[in-house]
Chains A and B, each alone.
Chain A
Amino acid sequence: MDDAGLIALARRGDAVAFSRLFSGFERPIFRYAAHMCGRDAADDIVQETFLALLRPSTSPGTGGGFDPNKGTVGNYLFGIARHFVLKRLSAKDLATYALDEDDLSAKASAKADEQPSVLENLSRAETVHAVRAAIATLPAPYREAIVLCELQELSYADAATVAQCPVGTIRSRLHRAKELLMTKLAAMQPGPAEAGHYAGARLRKTV
């Protein structure tokens, strides 16, 4: 049975159909929400997203229910989750969505630094910690592009559908997000005074 059939069954109270949908999409939705709003809010966003899936007529952000002609169930769920994510973003974060791409890029004020990244000197756990922290500091539109395209591995078209913007916008946001990340990570290059900034980080010497 396809996902549209599972949604129809779940809305009639079929626990098996719902469990299949939930197990298939719960983790991607959670990760998207966690990167956008933090882990504490992610649980609530997942819950609200699936409640909206079950009761589309009484839930905002569902677009009147799932239409297979408009996209996949995954995109549909991401779209609902995004509605709840935007409700939780700070006013400052929300304001960045209103900026055009040039203003947003200027506000990020980043030019990729060509100096070596600090990442190659870090253990894997430290790398994950550093990149995660850098992503969290990105403006929301850039953060969303990185999360959808790089971490969730959505296609540009799917990411554009979720973010409700043209594919070209997603491409440019992703490009600038990566530039910004590289700058931020380069800035993390520990000098003598900054070495303690990454608590627990064990820097490996390059050979």
Chain B
Amino acid sequence: MKTLDPHDSLNAGLRAVAEDDEHDGTSSRVSMRLLAEVHAIGAARRRRMMLLSLSAAAAVVVAISIPAWRALSSSSEQPALDAPVVSRELVTEFFPLTYSNVPARGGYVVRMQVPRSALASFGAAAFASDTPASNVLADVVIGNDGLARAVRFVQVVNDRRPANDGRREREQTP
């Protein structure tokens, strides 16, 4: 009669159990349930990614459109040139005309162009000498009776001022 050592016998028995266990595993129900969970995680992640993408796209659109809108708004308010052009007028004193001594109760001023030679006849030949135009502007004071009382000469000067001087002027002195 041949007997095994109890330890060897036990170890053999444990090996037999381990080998028998090799065939054991979870039911398909478990794997199906877990795979469904994985798919749900994937779907939720894709939804999150899509939302993030849309949010990022919206942020980019806003980031681009706000400065562009501001640029468009400000450009519509500013003159095309960087330096604004300011017109001002240089005028002479009023010179009396032939009927200046005739009393008048009221009148009005008419601006007209007169030949440059008219300047010389009033002793103002040097006025507006920097412009080559053959005519100059003149404000003529006309009484209610239609008689001209006085005249002054006008030169319109267009000045270009720096854009960053802090103000936009559009002045025109009558």
Residues in A lying within 8 Å of B, measured CB to CB: 10-15, 18-19, 22, 26-27, 30-31, 34, 39, 42-43, 46-47, 50-51, 54-55, 112-117, 119-120, 124, 127-128, 130-132, 135, 146, 150-151, 153, 178, 181-182, 185-186, 206-207
Contacts and interface: CB of A to CB of B under 8 A. Distances in A.
Interface string B99-137: 000000000000000000000000000000000000000
A84 to B, nearest CB: 13
A114 B35 contact: no
Given A19-B35, A46-B30, A47-B34, A151 B2 contact: no
Main secondary structure of the interface of A (DSSP, over half): helix
Given A13-B44, A116-B4, A206-B1, A27 B25 contact: yes
Contacts of A10: 38
Given A13-B43, A43-B30, A178-B7, A150 B14 contact: yes
What is the predominant secondary structure among interface residues of chain B facing chain A? helix
Contacts of A113: 6
B10 A34 contact: no
Nearest to A130: B13
B58 interface: no
A4 B27 CA distance: 26
A31 B6 contact: no
A15 B38 contact: yes
A13 B35 CA distance: 9
Contacts of B13: 117, 119, 127-128, 130-131, 185
Contacts of B38: 10, 13-15, 18, 54
A22 B34 contact: yes
A156 B37 CA distance: 34
Q: Which of A27, A51, A207 has the most CB of B within 10 A?
A: A27
Interface string B16-32: 11101110111101110
B161 interface: no
Contacts of A178: 7, 10
Contact of A207 (B2, B24, B29): B2
Contact of A51 (B1, B18, B26, B37): B37
